[in-house]
Structure 1
Amino acid sequence: MSAFQGIWVPVVTPFQDGAIDFIGLHRLLGHLLEKHVAGIMVCTTTGEAAALSRHEQLAVLDAVLQWVPPHRVVMGLAGNNQVELLQFQSEILKRPVAGLLVPAPSYIRPSQAGLEDFFRTVADASSVPVILYDIPYRTGATFEQATLLNIVAHARIQAVKDCGGNLSNTLALLASGEVDVLCGEDIQIFNALCLGASGAIAASAHVQTEQFVALWQQVRDNRLAEARATFFRLRPLIETMFMEPNPAPVKAALALDGVIGSQLRAPMQQASQAVVARWQALLQR
């Protein structure tokens, strides 16, 4: 059975007065773990990793590892300076993590051969499984199908977070048997699970977490009518989560629940009053 199955939450990084709120982070992790998520993804795009220094990223990881079993923790590893990225990777790998979530280097837009070389280099340097994060609208790098299939043939690359928006590529990955597919577009979770995805990395699952876990279990157990009904109940929540740039709506919802504050780091902005009002209406149902 795959280590990367079920609902994984790319946890937000709480802030208070501009600094990392570790007390809030602890409270949030407890809230998620009691809902039986499969695991926690640290320092992802939802975790505002790009706004954290490398020192802060390691501090968040170390804090999470105090409270979450290591086999349930995956660390984000992103950057466009490959030498520096590999140095940071070696620092991360001094910690006991279940894997690394790695996107293509952003802004550079390497060739297909460059993408293959990049992921081969990262995978060769890794002592833990690598999850390829395919998200072209953030990185500017688009994988051709042949490139993806070549990359995931590497023994260390064991899963793909699929945000590529290319159904043909998704189907090819699922059919290959080389890699587990984790849905990364929350609105596509039901479709992806029915097609054979092993789980999802879902920012939306910060809220009504137990319903996302139930959705995965229902599809796993072939209770598709129940799963469909669960998904349609979750649809308004998922749509609200992405009304404005992630993770502002996530933090707004968690703040209304009293779990953490709603602060983000500039240039990210807190959710608008329209989003807050939408959450107030949804969460009172």
Structure 2
Amino acid sequence: MSSFSGIWVPLVTPFHQGEIDFTALKSLCTRLLKRGIDGVVVCGTTGEAPMLTKEEQLQVLDAVLEVVPGHQVIMGLSGTHMPVIREMQDAILHRPVAGLLIPAPYYIRPSQAALVAWFTEIADHATVPVVLYNIPYRTGVQMELDTFRQLAKHPRITAVKDCGGSIDLTLSLIADGELDVLCGEDVQIFSTLSLGGKGAIAASSHIFTEEFVQLIKQFKEQDIVAARKTFFGLLPMIRLMFSAPNPAAIKFALSLDGLMDNELRSPMLPAPENVELAVRGLLNQHSR
């Protein structure tokens, strides 16, 4: 079963005049691969997946797979209606992906027992590893430690993207050693790696990508002093990228490099002017 580690970039979805810009998407993937990332996540939160049709999500996945090897691609899969989830899952699994990133069903706030049943049904029908996505401030439900421990017994459930906001939960998951723990809150990357986490799914690693890759290398070499310096160098940028609803600031930063239009789909809006000014200033300073 695959093990997930290192820096995985949850891709933005570029748009041009309301339509997906597949040329920009593939160029972005090529650039990120050249900078040494371990993989990409397609159609996650950063990719504005809820604003894409299922057909568009599969088109995005197909475009990414034209330039990124399948073993470096995780596909997001979310929703609240199991038959629709299963249909989409089947379509995804006809493609050569490394895994599925799956959050709890949003808005419904199911019980912990219901979460176990939900993820188990999906994992039972998976042919690739499942990465649990714990993000309670978006789904409305916090996955508890015992829930993770039950799900970790499933042979297809191998990792967690940790956005749970609980250092105790993070520490317990890492100490258990049953799931690969990938940090999903970029400001917590250093602490998660210090505790023994395997890596990060980091939206802000679209920017200054080499430094994120270097951070992982420094941890592998057990050079914590250098890793701390690298992380604190990244921290102002990380905070700035989340000073507007994700991925507005990231898309603006990428637009300054000519990689895509500064365009999001409703109900998302571009970053406010003060954030754009701050991003422009930070990137200008970094390029000196």
Counterpart position of 1:226: 226
Query: Partner letter of residue 11 of structure 1?
Result: L
Who is 1:147 aligned against?
147
The code of the aligned residue for 1:187 comes to V
Partner-residue secondary structure (3-state), 2:190: helix
Distance 2:155 2:169 in 1: 19
Displacement of 1:280 after TM fit?
1.2
- 3-state DSSP class of the match of 2:86? helix
- Residue in structure 1 matched with residue 193 of structure 2 by the alignment: 193
Cα distance in 2 for partners of 1:2, 1:215 equals 22
2:254 is matched with 254
Q: Displacement of 1:145 after TM fit?
A: 1.4
Aligned residue for 1:275? Answer: 275
Once the two structures are TM-superposed, the CA of residue 262 in structure 1 deviates from its matched residue by 1.1
Instruction: Give the whole-Å Cα distance in 1 for the aligned partners of 2:90 and 2:271.
Output: 36
Unaligned runs of 5+ in 2: none
Paired with 1:114 and 1:83, the residues of 2 have a C-alpha distance of 16
Task: Indicate conservation of the 8 Å contact 2:14/2:263, yes or no.
Answer: yes
* Corresponding residue number in structure 2 for 1:61: 61
Partner of residue 16, structure 1: 16
> Structure 2: which amino acid aligns with 1:262?
N
Runs (4+) of structure 1 moved beyond 6 Å?
none
Shift of 1:3: 2.9
CA shift at 1:268, angstroms?
0.2
| TM score, norm. by length of structure 1 | 0.98
Give how far 1:129 is off: 0.2
**In 2, distance between residues paired with 1:240 and 1:95?**
35
Aligned to 2:103: 103
Aligned amino acid, residue 38 of structure 2 = A
> CA-to-partner distance for each residue in 1:84-116, whole Å, 9 max, x for gaps?
101110111011100000000001111110000
What letter corresponds to residue 4 of structure 1 in structure 2? F
Tell me how many residue pairs correspond in the alignment: 285
Maintained 8 Å contact 1:9/1:201:
yes
- Aligned residue runs from structure 1 range 1-285, under 5 A: 3-285=3-285
Measure the CA separation in 2 of the matches of 1:91 and 1:159: 22
State the Cα deviation string for residues 206-230 of structure 1 (Å, max 9, x = none): 0000000001110111011100000
Letter aligned with residue 253 of structure 2 = A
Provide the rounded CA distance (Å) in 2 between the counterparts of 1:124 and 1:271: 41
Q: Structure 1: give runs of 5+ residues left out of the alignment.
A: none
State the alpha-carbon separation in 2 of the partners of residues 176 and 86 from structure 1: 30
Alpha-carbon distance in 1 for matches of 2:132, 2:177: 15
Q: C-alpha distance in 2, partners of 1:147/1:12? A: 30
CA distance in 2, matches of 1:264, 1:242: 15
Cα offsets for 1:221-245 (capped at 9, x unmatched): 1011100000011011000010010
Tell me, yes or no, if the aligned pair for 2:2 and 2:98 is still in contact at 8 Å. no
CA distance in 1, matches of 2:194, 2:144: 24
Q: CA deviation at 1:201?
A: 0.2
Alpha-carbon distance between aligned partners in 2 of 1:148 and 1:159, rounded to the nearest angstrom: 10
Post-superposition offset of 1:2:
5.9
> Does the 8 A contact of 2:3 with 2:158 survive in 1?
no
- Three-state SS of the structure 2 residue aligned to 1:67 is coil
Q: Is the 8 A contact 1:2 1:180 kept in 2?
A: no
- Alpha-carbon distance between aligned partners in 2 of 1:82 and 1:166, rounded to the nearest angstrom: 29
Kindly provide the amino acid, as one letter, of the partner of residue 157 in structure 2: I
- CA deviation after TM superposition for structure 1 residue 204, in Å: 0.3
Helix, strand or coil for the counterpart of 2:235?
helix
1:41-65 deviations in whole A, cap 9, x for unaligned?
0000000000000000000001111
- SS of match in other structure, 2:193: helix
Which one-letter code corresponds to 2:63 in the other structure?
Answer: A
